């Protein structure tokens, strides 16, 4: 699919499901099953600010310092556009193209050096010429990329990258951990992860199936795509303010509400619509899981992966 402008009526249509707004197109095609409403837009903005805290060791908190002065950048699945906007603002001399299947959370005001368009990342990325970009960024799109598409998604990036360019792939590993090894205190979270991952494969449409193993398999896929060496940067991010280090504690504090909202929004549709749980059972499980996210004694955390070839 070539990129299209934001005016396409079929991409702007919304549909309600248990008080949340979804993109009608994405649900119909089983492309992406998370809400795209104001609540999610706010969560994505807050999550973006948390990530800037996590990566404060990078000069601009957006990409590492070894990626020097990229001039042409692609953001895959821009969502509410926070990363693309911040980068375009940070460096007015670079151009930032963003693509997303859904225009509904896009920022109303864009900068002159931004170009946001609609495209489906599950299709061959024909919206740009080969060797166009110095940096391609892909963050938290695992729930929208078909399981079988990943190797070709990364091959497409390889084709669109200029020689010496960089790819930056960021995803959560949605298995929650306890720093003190108290897994009994994370039982509802573990049940949530199991159900969510099971729900990703419960479809008869091949393109609807999503991978629950992106953080584990991405390095191999990147090598298969042609990238010779791959660096994986893993950060453990607290889900409540338990770390003794003040900066990490502040991150944990901010991440608590983000993670509470994430586990509710990400799994609501696939788990209940695919009938793994009734809506009441799901809400009860998420309530318990939210309490576990905030259990200071268990020192819960989640892993954030960034891969750079
Ligand atoms: C969880 S949001 C992340 C947004 C942004 N990258 C960030 O880090 O804040 C995922 C975004 O990817 C988009 N997306 C998911 N699957 C997609 C696909 N197959 N093609 C294009 N966009 C997709 C969704 O519409 C959504 O805006």
Task: Look at residue 179 and tell me if it is in a domain.
Answer: yes
Q: Cα separations (Å) of 227 from 61, 188, 280? A: 24, 38, 46
Domain count, the chain: 1
Task: Look at residue 236 and tell me if it is in a domain.
Answer: yes
Task: Tell me what percent of the residues of the chain surpass a pLDDT of 90.
Answer: 92
Distance CA 211, CA 215 (A): 10
Distance CA 180, CA 197 (A): 25
- Phi–psi pair at 107, nearest 5 degrees: -65, 140
pLDDT reported for residue 2:
64
Q: Which atom of ligand 1 is nearest to the CA of 119?
A: 21
Mean pLDDT, range 172-194, rounded to an integer:
97
Cα 244 to ligand 1 centroid, rounded to whole Å: 34
pLDDT reported for residue 1:
58
Question: Domain range holding 26?
Answer: 9-308
Residues within a 6 A CB radius of ligand 1? 31-32, 44, 48, 77-79, 82-83, 100-102, 105, 120-122, 139-141, 144-145
Chain position carrying tokens 């992860």: 193
Distance CA 1, CA 58 (A): 35
Average pLDDT of the chain, as a whole number: 96
Specify the CATH number for the domain of residue 119.
3.40.50.150
Over residues 87-119, the pLDDT tens digits come to 999 999 999 999 999 999 999 989 999 999 999
Indicate the pLDDT class of residue 15, thresholds 50, 70 and 90.
very high
Contacts of 7 (CB under 8 A, 6+ apart): none
Distance CA 88, CA 81 (A): 10
Cα 118 to ligand 1 centroid, rounded to whole Å: 11
Mean pLDDT, range 169-192, rounded to an integer:
98
Candidate of 14, 41, 122, 141 to mutate for ligand 1, largest count of ligand atoms within 8 Å of Cβ: 141
Candidate of 4, 144, 149, 210 to mutate for ligand 1, largest count of ligand atoms within 8 Å of Cβ: 144
Task: Look at residue 198 and tell me if it is in a domain.
Answer: yes
Indicate the pLDDT class of residue 4, thresholds 50, 70 and 90.
confident
Helix axis angle for 246-273 and 38-54, nearest 10°, is 140
Task: Look at residue 24 and tell me if it is in a domain.
Answer: yes
Task: Look at residue 304 and tell me if it is in a domain.
Answer: yes
Cα 39 to ligand 1 centroid, rounded to whole Å: 15
Q: Are 54 and 67 in contact (CB under 8 A)?
A: no
Q: Cα separations (Å) of 181 from 115, 175, 236, 304, 305? A: 46, 13, 14, 19, 21
**CA torsion sign, 230 to 120 to 62 to 35?**
negative
Cα 11 to ligand 1 centroid, rounded to whole Å: 14
Task: Look at residue 1 and tell me if it is in a domain.
Answer: no
Task: Look at residue 241 and tell me if it is in a domain.
Answer: yes
Over residues 120-174, the pLDDT tens digits come to 999 999 999 999 999 999 999 999 999 999 999 999 999 999 999 999 999 999 9
Radius of gyration of the chain (CA): 19
Q: Output b/e per residue, 75-99; b: 16+ Cβ within 10 A.
A: bbbbbbbbbbbbbbeebeebbbbbb
Over residues 196-250, the pLDDT tens digits come to 999 999 998 888 999 999 999 999 999 999 998 899 999 999 999 999 999 999 9
Over residues 248-299, the pLDDT tens digits come to 999 999 999 999 999 999 999 999 999 999 999 999 999 999 999 999 999 9
Would you state the structure tokens that stand for residue 26, as one six-digit string? 């994405």
Distance CA 53, CA 241 (A): 14
pLDDT reported for residue 8:
72
Task: Look at residue 163 and tell me if it is in a domain.
Answer: yes
Q: Which atom of ligand 1 is nearest to the CA of 138?
A: 6
Q: Are 151 and 224 in contact (CB under 8 A)?
A: yes
Would you state the structure tokens that stand for residue 127, as one six-digit string? 């919206």
């Amino acid at each position: 699919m070539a990129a299209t402008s934001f005016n396409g009526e079929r991409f702007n249509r919304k549909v309600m499901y248990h008080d949340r707004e979804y993109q009608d197109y994405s649900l119909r095609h089983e492309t992406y099953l998370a809400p795209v409403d104001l609540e999610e837009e706010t969560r994505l903005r807050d999550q973006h600010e948390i990530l800037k805290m996590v990566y404060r060791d990078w000069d601009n908190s957006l990409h590492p310092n070894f990626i020097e002065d990229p001039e042409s950048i692609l953001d895959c699945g821009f969502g509410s556009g926070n990363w693309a906007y911040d980068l375009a603002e940070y460096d007015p001399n670079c151009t930032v193209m963003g693509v997303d299947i859904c225009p509904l959370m896009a920022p109303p005001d864009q900068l002159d050096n931004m170009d946001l368009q609609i495209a489906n990342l599950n299709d061959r990325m024909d919206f740009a010429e080969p060797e166009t970009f110095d940096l391609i960024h892909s963050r938290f799109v695992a729930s929208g990329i078909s399981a079988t598409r990943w190797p070709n998604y990364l091959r497409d990036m390889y084709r669109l990258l200029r020689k010496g360019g960089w790819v930056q792939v960021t995803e959560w590993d949605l298995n929650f951990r306890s720093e003190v090894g108290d897994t009994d205190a994370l039982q509802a979270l573990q049940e949530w992860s199991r159900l969510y991952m099971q729900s990703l494969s419960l479809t008869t449409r091949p393109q609807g199936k999503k991978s629950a193993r992106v953080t584990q398999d991405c390095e191999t896929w990147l090598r298969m795509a042609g990238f010779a060496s791959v660096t994986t940067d893993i950060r453990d991010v607290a889900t409540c303010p338990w770390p003794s280090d003040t900066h990490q504690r502040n991150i944990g504090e901010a991440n608590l509400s983000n993670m509470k909202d994430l586990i509710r929004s990400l799994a609501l549709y696939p788990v209940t619509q695919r009938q793994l749980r009734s809506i009441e059972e799901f809400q009860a499980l998420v309530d318990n899981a939210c309490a576990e996210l905030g259990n200071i004694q268990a020192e819960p955390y989640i892993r954030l992966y960034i891969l750079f070839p």
